[in-house]
Amino acid sequence: MLNKIKSYMMPIAMITGIVLHRYMGGLSFLTPYLIVVMLLITYCNISFRDIQFTRLHLWLILIQVAGSIAVYLLLLPVHPIIAQGAMICVLAPTATSAPVITGMLGGNVASLTAYSLLSNMTIVVVAPLIFAFTGEVNATSFADSLWVVFQKVFILLFLPFFGALLLQKFLPRVHYEIQKAKSLSFYIWSVALVIITGKTVQFILDQESPNYVVEVGIALAALAVCISQFLTGRKLGRVYDDTVAGGQGLGQKNTILAIWMAQTYLNPISSIGPGAYVLWQNVVNSFQVWKNRKSL
């Protein structure tokens, strides 16, 4: 019953964000805090002693980083905002919920968990560099731009990681209670989705001369990126006998974080890309789960 309720939460959250878009701007400051809490809950449920990185993980992270740059350069001549929207869909780290879908598909949850951690930690280093070149950061120089991005991304992604380690060592009881509340992260994700959906809609409506061709182009680019990443990840995972983890690791993205990064460091309209990616990846995941259950 709970899983059935959760399956309806994503469309409900997005519709709520669209309807209440005028009020979401005032709540957008909550988004980074919600992301930190979600990641803290996730990291408290990871056994760091069991984390093992493999060659597959290294290939996936290379594709995630190099692929984001390649997609940006490929689409830049078409339109810079389309290029940004597609790029962030590739650069975004693996979703915190990806291990759940991996388990439902009979994949290697431990492998996907390890890659999810690697993916998030890599973004701490790589994102400031990429955004300093491709983004629209309010800074006086490249070095200043790099520092502006690094501060926020470091706090956002590293603070929960170190927090989970410190709680495990010094406050094990609190760590245990957070582990028990792991389902809470889903509802926090839903609140964050309402806020960022509303903010994205408001960005679109506030345009003085909206270019709907560009906006549709961003959504279609996100679709192409989504399908490509799932297929590439599965094909590469098959080489290392880790098909499902490969596909979910590369294809299932932390779209909340991606939208926040797009709205913060890129042209806000580019957040349509990861916003559409929410829909595309859920369609892919639903199809995979349906196909897997049918084959049982």
Strand partners, 253: 94
Render 255-267 in DSSP notation, one character per residue: HHHHHHHHHHHS-
Residue 6's pLDDT is 56
Residue 2's pLDDT is 47
Token code pair at residue 84: 């940004």
CA distances from 2 to 8, 9, 93, 190 (A): 10, 11, 27, 15
Render the chain in DSSP notation, one character per residue: -HHHHHHHHHHHHHHHHHHTHHHHGGGGGGHHHHHHHHHHHHHHT--GGG----HHHHHHHHHHHHHHHHHHHHHTTT-HHHHHHHHHHHHSPBPTTHHHHHHHTT--HHHHHHHHHHHHHHHHHHHHHHHHHHS----SSHHHHHHHHHHHHHHHHHHHHHHHHHHHHH-HHHHHHHHHTTTHHHHHHHHHHHHHHHHHHHHHHT-SS--HHHHHHHHHHHHHHHHHHHHHHHHHHHHTT-HHHHHHHHHSB-HHHHHHHHHHHS-GGGGHHHHHHHHHHHHHHHHHHHHHHHH-
Nearest C-alpha neighbor of 261 from the set 117, 164, 97, 150: 150
CA distances from 144 to 84, 147, 156 (A): 21, 5, 19
Residue 9's pLDDT is 72
Nearest C-alpha neighbor of 200 from the set 97, 277, 87: 277
Q: From its phi and psi, is residue 82 left (phi > 0), alpha (psi between -120 and 50) or beta?
A: alpha
Residue 123's pLDDT is 92
Residue 100's pLDDT is 78
Average pLDDT, consecutive stretches of 10 residues, N- to C-terminus, the chain (296 residues) = 57 88 89 92 85 95 97 97 97 88 88 92 91 76 80 87 93 94 84 91 84 94 98 97 96 94 92 93 88 78
Q: What is the CATH number of domain 22-289?
A: 1.20.1530.20
Residue 3's pLDDT is 52
